[in-house]
């Protein structure tokens, strides 16, 4: 253990007054696992645009009441500087320590004279986005680590617009955190005292009802059969989605909902799926087992904070999983069909996705004529585009926003991905196709045959700790200094470095809609011959560097062959440090 780490460890030993954390620190030091100790103390947990996220435990690079309180002091300083009478909406999902972190957040805000509206129980992240706007709060905070494994928790901050805070705000909050001694400078007030003084107010159920009312506005009536024959298996993966998802499905007429019993109740240990990510088949194992018994029309799985949803659909005797890109493309095509049938002008509609999501929306935009905008990774950028539309009183132009990682939004009630509205629309879409004797798997195959096989893959390289962070930085530096001329035998036709001012990719831009430039980001895009592509970026929430792979061909076999070659090249060449 180097001297710097040893000094930080000693400071924490001397200053800790939370018994459980003190015991955990003593156990950690007794284990003599120098690498783990170093990782817990080698840096301070950074407040990025997604807030904080990290492993639970003692240390400056861990999620605990001290790092949460220090971050909240930075947020309080920012709010008191920019708002005359600031207030904050606070919620949590089912993660371990969530209740403690909510109370710590509200207590620090109260000590700084800032009122909090606190949810009395767990709620989905999109409810926080909605409630922040509905209650006219200055900011929102939700305690969640999304789909990370059980040892993680996080702290996501939102602006008054319901989007995750902008880069400039995050930088100002981080600067304030840097000036705040984690043990001496954080103001505190007892949570019970804050309640008594009216500096904490419980959020009423009327807010949840208003959220569900807003979602129901984008429902498509007439899709769900009236005979109650449409059946759904649903798993909240021991997270926060149960209440809102089941309520909205019942509102639209889905009465037969079988909830996976082992994953029904909130449990931050996620005992049946160590990685509660609906992108991963293992997380859906219990749901698939139940589906094989009760034979539903659809399996839905929402992640712990219920902002993302994965699905499986019956096809020729087995349940097929659809990817986030596939569901996004199905929703776009289906909504365009319905809007056109209703006599709406599709050319005025706007679909917003990200630079790392499927390229198929380009083909759909060419076919249907809607305006397509691509933003950086992170749903706050999609939310920002919705704001541009609503500021011009053009919110009705917004058709759908989606990310490849199973995140979708329809409607303007929130500024974050929303598994509740997505679950509703996916059920209605599945029922609509079922009336035409088509399942969603077949509907997706039809899209492939019509527009081409646009396939996607991701190669991840995990690099943890201080050495890992340096490795990732070295890989990005090498790729900029020595750009490849070909990848997997495909010529690089163009390189887009998003660390420079890059224009927003747009198609069918409507007259009057401005050309836009994307914010700076540490992302490299390699456009290859044949419409294929590779994008490399460090993860913003995990110790990983990722290569997103895009292949397209007239046949599935050829597109898969290109995918395999791109994956091999990424593993062996692109994501390798010198």
pLDDT of residue 469: 86
**Measuring CA to CA, which residue among 307, 294, 418, 399 is closest to residue 353?**
399
Is 278 in contact with 406 (CB distance < 8 Å)? yes
The per-residue b/e assignment along 59-82, b for 16 or more CB within 10 angstroms, e otherwise, is: bbbbbbbbbbbbbbbbbbbbbbee
Q: Using the Cα atoms of residue 489, residue 493, residue 498 and residue 504 in order, give the sign of their dihedral.
A: negative
- Position 50 pLDDT exceeds 80: no
- Position 527 pLDDT exceeds 90: yes
Mean pLDDT, residues 432-460 taken together: 97
Active-site residue 146, yes or no?
A: yes
Start-to-end CA distance of the chain, whole Å, equals: 26
pLDDT of residue 234: 98
Per-residue pLDDT of 119-149, as tens digits, reads 999 999 999 999 999 999 999 999 999 989 9
**Measuring CA to CA, which residue among 397, 399, 401 is closest to residue 376?**
401
pLDDT of residue 32: 84
Q: Using the Cα atoms of residue 328, residue 304, residue 376 and residue 460 in order, give the sign of their dihedral.
A: negative
Percent of the chain's residues with pLDDT above 70: 99
Per-residue pLDDT of 390-405, as tens digits, reads 999 999 999 999 999 9
Is 537 in contact with 476 (CB distance < 8 Å)? no
Per-residue pLDDT of 259-315, as tens digits, reads 999 999 999 999 999 899 998 889 999 999 999 999 999 999 999 999 999 999 999
Per-residue pLDDT of 317-336, as tens digits, reads 999 999 999 999 999 999 99
**Neighbouring C-beta atoms of residue 449, cutoff 10 Å:** 12
259 DSSP β-pair partners = 234
Go through the chain and tell me how many residues it has. 578
**Neighbouring C-beta atoms of residue 369, cutoff 10 Å:** 16
pLDDT of residue 1: 67
Which of the residues 116, 129, 138, 146 is marked catalytic? 146
16 CB-near residues (< 8 Å, 6+ apart): 22, 25, 58, 66
Is 163 in contact with 75 (CB distance < 8 Å)? no
Mean pLDDT, residues 431-450 taken together: 98
């Amino acid at each position: 253990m180097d001297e710097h780490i040893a000094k930080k460890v000693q400071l924490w030993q001397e200053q800790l007054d939370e018994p459980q954390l003190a015991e955990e620190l003593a156990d950690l030091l007794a284990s003599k696992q120098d690498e783990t100790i170093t990782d817990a103390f080698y840096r301070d947990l950074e407040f990025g645009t997604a807030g904080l996220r990290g492993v639970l435990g003692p240390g400056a690079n861990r999620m605990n009441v001290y790092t949460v309180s220090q971050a909240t002091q930075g947020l309080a300083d920012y709010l008191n500087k920019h708002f005359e009478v600031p207030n904050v909406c606070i919620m949590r999902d089912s993660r371990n320590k969530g209740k403690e972190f909510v109370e710590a957040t509200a207590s620090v805000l109260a000590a700084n004279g800032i009122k909090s509206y606190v949810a009395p129980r767990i709620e989905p992240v999109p409810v926080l986005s909605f409630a922040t706007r509905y209650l006219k709060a200055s900011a929102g905070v939700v305690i969640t680590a999304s789909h990370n494994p059980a040892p993680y928790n996080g702290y996501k901050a939102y602006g008054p617009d319901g989007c995750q805070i902008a880069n400039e705000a995050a930088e100002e909050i981080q600067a304030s955190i840097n000036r705040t001694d984690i043990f001496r400078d954080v103001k505190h007030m007892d949570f019970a005292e804050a309640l008594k003084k009216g500096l904490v107010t419980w959020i009423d159920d009327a807010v949840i009802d208003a959220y569900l009312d807003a979602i129901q506005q984008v429902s498509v009536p007439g899709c769900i059969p009236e005979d109650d024959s449409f059946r759904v298996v649903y798993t909240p993966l021991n997270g926060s989605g149960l209440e809102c998802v089941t309520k909205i499905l019942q509102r639209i007429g889905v009465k037969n909902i079988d909830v996976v019993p082992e994953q029904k109740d909130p449990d931050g240990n996620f005992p049946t799926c160590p990685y509660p990510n609906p992108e991963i088949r293992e997380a859906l194992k219990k749901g698939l087992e139940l589906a094989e018994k009760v034979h539903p029309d659809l399996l839905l799985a929402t992640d712990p904070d219920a902002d993302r949803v994965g699905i499986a659909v019956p096809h020729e005797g087995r349940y097929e999983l659809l990817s986030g890109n596939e569901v996004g493309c199905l929703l776009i095509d289906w909504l365009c069909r319905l809007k056109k049938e209703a006599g709406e002008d599709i050319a005025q509609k706007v679909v917003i996705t990200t630079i790392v999501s499927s390229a198929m929306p380009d083909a759909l935009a060419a076919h249907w004529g809607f305006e397509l905008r691509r933003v950086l990774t992170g749903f706050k950028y999609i939310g920002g585009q919705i704001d541009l539309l609503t500021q011009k009183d053009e919110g009705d132009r917004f058709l759908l926003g989606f990310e490849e990682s199973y995140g979708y939004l329809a409607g303007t009630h929130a500024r974050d991905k929303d598994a509740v509205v997505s679950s509703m629309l996916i059920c209605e879409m599945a029922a609509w196709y079922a009336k035409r004797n088509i399942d969603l798997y077949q509907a997706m195959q039809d899209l492939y045959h019509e527009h081409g096989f646009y396939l996607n893959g991701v190669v991840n390289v995990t690099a943890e700790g201080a050495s890992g962070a340096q490795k990732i930085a070295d890989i990005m530096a090498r790729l900029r200094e020595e750009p490849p001329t070909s990848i997997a035998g495909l010529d690089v036709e163009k390189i887009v470095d998003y660390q420079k001012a890059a224009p927003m990719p747009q198609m069918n831009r409507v007259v009057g809609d401005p050309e836009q430039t994307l914010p700076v980001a540490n992302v490299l895009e390699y456009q290859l011959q044949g419409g294929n592509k590779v994008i490399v970026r460090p993860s913003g929430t995990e110790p990983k560097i990722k290569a997103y792979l895009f292949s397209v061909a007239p046949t599935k076999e050829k597109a898969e062959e290109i995918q395999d070659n791109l994956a091999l090249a990424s593993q062996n060449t692109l994501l390798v440090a010198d």
